[in-house]
Structure 1
Amino acid sequence: MHPLDSMHYAKPAQAGGSARVSEAVARVIRARSGQAEAPEVKPRDPAPSRAAYKMNRLWLTPSFRFAMRRIVPVAAVLAVVGVWAANEDNRSYVSDQYVMMKSELQNRPEFMVKLMAVDGASEDLAADIREVAPVDFPISSFDLDLPAMLEQIESLDAVASAGVRVRAGGILQIDINERVPAVVWRGPQGLEMLDADGHRVASLSARMDRPDLPLIAGEGAERAVDEALGLLESASPLMNRVRGIVRVGERRWDIVLDDAQRIMLPEENPFAALAQVIAFDQAQDLLERDVRAVDMRNPNRPTLRISEAARDEFRRIKGL
């Protein structure tokens, strides 16, 4: 090796050795002078602590993030509200404020009802409706129990259906579909008007109060009003003499004429039997004679019942 090279490499070694010597000398001098040696500063460890690592791992869990962002704030608010509401004075204050605000809102002029209008009903029925559904005006629309009022109105016999609403202008509107009386029924309770379905409409004090309605009677007549109306319509040629129609044994009908005459119809196919009687009358004035009853209960064998005077006259003529 070249001598210069060895000298070159020797210099750093000598420099390092002299530095260590100088440092050792400095420590000896400081020790002799009573100065404490400065503590050695350790470099900061960039790795997280155990708690921070667990917290970071926990935060990566979706359920934990949801709980911390949504559930925990809500729970905290609810806890505060619960503590505040635990005080009775606070609850009373909230209740009083709610009642006062509700009353002020409901009693505003735009919510007040001042009048009642009843459409589609006769005067008597309208009076009955006002009686069963009394209202002290003015009243707030929030205080009206419309379903209960509707139930009370529809409980009236003369009401087929009804509608109740509050319309603009503070008017309680009641629309009525009134039952139309079709017959007068002489039943156990006296005279009553029935509609075409046999539903009771109203009571009647006297027959002459409704002479325009046909009279039906007999047990079970109210359950066969439609058939009775059909027979009366078929008896239109005799309508000026018809006084009523009677249900017999809940099976068949008797048509009652003036002069106490009767047309006794069969249980089955009474319309054909009635048509046969009308044809006899139109051909031979059957019902103008001294006949008490035309018995058609057996259509194949019609029978006439005549009065006592007619029988006596018949016997006299037969004897001659």
Structure 2
Amino acid sequence: MQRLWLTPQFRVLARVGLPVFLLAAAVGLFASDADRRAAIAGAYGDLKEAFQSRPEFMVGLVSVEGASPELTDAIRDRIGLKLPLSSFDIDLDAVRARVEGLDAVARAELRVRSGGVLQVLITERMPVLVWRMDERLEMLDEAGHRVAGLAARTDRPDLPLIAGEGAAAATGEALEIFAAAQAILPRVRGLVRMGERRWDLVLDRNQRVLLPETGAVAAVERLMALDKAEDLLARDVLSVDLRNEKRPVLRLAPFALNEHRKAQGIDVSGSEL
């Protein structure tokens, strides 16, 4: 025994291993009884619930910041929490996903502040266009994402109008075209997407500008320069076809066409108006 005690491994086994084994055996023997295990689990559950239900962990209010009043009401409804509620019982990721499911919400950040307040910081999508699709009107942000529906065009006359299938996917180009047509913007009724490939710029007096598939913004800029120099769009022009950069085509109103023919010495007495 003396020689064994002089062995380092034996001393470690006697001082550490034996007490650990005896303790594990005692715990195993105690936990082998089902009633004892149930009592331990119940005591742990009660202790956990008592800790999580302490007043400093309870959430009683929801604060929504960065959203309009209408969107704030929608966010409160979407959160769907029955307060007061322990902060340990709130799944912030799930609540954020529900809030960001609203069309008008670009991003949401949630945190529990002291005083029992669930703070919801909102980055709201700002509408920049109205999209008409069949009989439906929707407001879109600059990325073409739906913000909200619109009951009537007169509800948002400040927003430019786009229409047609696939128009929402080309909102960036539409905004650039509206910016290029700033000089005649009061006359602009909207942009119509043609075949999901290109735009037609529609003006009052039933005038229409046919834009090319590529370089539409540059085409509008050239048209603005021509209109400034020649006052083109103030004339009796039905349409301006800019799809061919090298050969723009003007379609004149019947009266203007007859006057042009008369100026060239062409007899128009038998022509139909």
TM-score by length of 2: 0.90
Query: Which residue pairs with 1:45 in the alignment?
Result: none
SS in 2 for 1:79: helix
CA displacement 1:242-299 (0-9 Å, x = unmatched): 0111222232221111122111111222222212222222222211222111001112
CA separation in 1, counterparts of 2:124 and 2:178?
Answer: 24
Match of 1:229 among 151, 156, 175: 175
Identity %: 52
SS in 2 for 1:172: strand
Alignment of 1:30-41 (within 5 A): none
CA separation in 2, counterparts of 1:253 and 1:107?
Answer: 61
Query: Which residue pairs with 1:161 in the alignment?
Result: 107
CA separation in 1, counterparts of 2:163 and 2:132?
Answer: 5
The farther-off stretch of 201-210 and 68-77 is 68-77
Q: Are 2:131 and 1:185 aligned?
A: yes
Query: Which residue pairs with 2:156 in the alignment?
Result: 210
Gaps of 5+ in 1: 1-54
Match of 1:248 among 191, 194, 198: 194
Query: Which residue pairs with 2:231 in the alignment?
Result: 285
CA separation in 2, counterparts of 1:91 and 1:215?
Answer: 69
Deviation at residue 195 of structure 1 after TM alignment: 0.8
Match of 1:260 among 188, 206, 210: 206
Gaps of 5+ in 2: 269-273
SS in 2 for 1:166: strand
Q: Are 2:22 and 1:67 aligned?
A: no
Query: Which residue pairs with 1:319 in the alignment?
Result: 267
CA separation in 2, counterparts of 1:211 and 1:243?
Answer: 11
CA separation in 2, counterparts of 1:73 and 1:183?
Answer: 76
CA separation in 2, counterparts of 1:232 and 1:70?
Answer: 81
SS in 2 for 1:244: strand
Partner AA of 1:83 in structure 2: L
Deviation at residue 123 of structure 1 after TM alignment: 1.2
The alpha-carbon distance between structure 1 residues 76 and 187, as it changes in their structure 2 partners (threshold 3 A), is farther
Query: Which residue pairs with 2:271 in the alignment?
Result: none
CA separation in 1, counterparts of 2:197 and 2:156?
Answer: 27
The farther-off stretch of 151-160 and 59-68 is 59-68
Query: Which residue pairs with 2:82 in the alignment?
Result: 136
Q: What number of residue pairs does the alignment pair up?
A: 266
CA displacement 1:148-176 (0-9 Å, x = unmatched): 11111111111111111111111111110
CA separation in 2, counterparts of 1:162 and 1:189?
Answer: 32
CA displacement 1:36-85 (0-9 Å, x = unmatched): xxxxxxxxxxxxxxxxxxx4444444444333332332121111011101
Partner AA of 2:157 in structure 1: P
The alpha-carbon distance between structure 1 residues 286 and 63, as it changes in their structure 2 partners (threshold 3 A), is same
Partner AA of 1:88 in structure 2: A
The alpha-carbon distance between structure 1 residues 72 and 189, as it changes in their structure 2 partners (threshold 3 A), is farther
Alignment of 1:72-221 (within 5 A): 72-187=18-133, 190-221=136-167
TM-score by length of 1: 0.77
CA separation in 1, counterparts of 2:135 and 2:11?
Answer: 79
Partner AA of 2:267 in structure 1: G
Partner AA of 1:82 in structure 2: G
Higher relative contact order (CA 8 A, sep 6+): 2
SS in 2 for 1:300: coil
